[in-house]
Structure 1
């Protein structure tokens, strides 16, 4: 998910292109506003942390771009491409390393496991919004 900072800084296409160039297949995409209730469900794992409300406030401050990607080892590949959560620890060449300055205004969210990916996809997408299409490049990637 691209958080409000990606939209505000006009990097949506640029970052989508990085996933496409890697060979991942985009099967779900939508721009949306997340309300407080959905934000709290999404960040439920952090509900007891002091920064929880800041996460909710940021993700609800402007539209986000929610996406579903497919590919071999997709979760681990995306996590590597996204980089460390703390921008000071994110390597150059990663999305956070190249575009993010502050942890509390992190520009991207990526699921950390297949189980969490399934849960998060269920929060943001209906089944009818996921498109499993035939990718002619599959044999080349």
Structure 2
């Protein structure tokens, strides 16, 4: 099912390394419209809830620690086929496997510090957007 919106988050490593502007430029140059945007700091409880789908995975604790170590930039993006197109734009989770020109190939350090999160389905895009933004913040 095609959607018009997806959710992304520039992770702490991307913010710390000063890549926020370049990542946002790449997103908008790829035809996405920013519907909502904010810089925020996730608490441990926020990260545990946001990544609860991974709670049984061995990397969960490290993921929560990483996502709370510094600010993130959360955004809701709009474009036809937004979820699939954004997943293509960000590239593979492991930047070594990511295609040239993708956000992760350009800005990620490793599989764990991969610069950006992108929703993997229409359903998760809606859930993740609502986690970070109220309906009145998205326009």
State the TM-score, normalized to the length of structure 1.
0.90
Query: 2:118 is paired with a residue of what secondary structure?
Result: coil
Residue 7 (1) aligns with residue 15 (2):
yes
RMSD: 0.8
**1:80 matched residue in structure 2:** 88
Superposed CA offset, 1:36-75 (max 9, x none)? 1110111111100010011100010000000000010011
SS of aligned partner of 1:104? coil
Contact 1:2 1:109 in 2 (8 A): yes
The ranges of structure 1 where at least 4 consecutive aligned residues each deviate by more than 2 angstroms after the TM superposition are: none
> Which residue in the other structure is 2:38 paired with?
30
Structure 1 or 2: more strand by fraction: 2
Show the counterpart of 1:68: 76
Matching residue of 1:52 = 60
Give the corresponding residue for 1:125: 133
For 1:101 and 1:11, locate their aligned partners in 2 and report how far apart those are by CA, in whole Å. 12
Secondary structure of the corresponding residue to residue 30 of structure 1: strand
Whether contact under 8 Å (1:38, 1:123) holds in the other structure is: no
Q: Which residue of 2 aligns with 1:91?
A: 99
RCO greater where, 1 or 2, for CA within 8 Å and sep 6 or more?
A: 2
Higher normalized helix content (fraction of residues): 1
Deviation at residue 101 of structure 1 after TM alignment: 2.2
Q: Determine helix, strand or coil for the equivalent of 1:76.
A: helix
Counterpart CA distance in 2 for 1:104 and 1:127 is: 31
The structure whose Rg is larger is 1
Kept in 2: contact 1:4–1:59 (CA 8 A):
yes
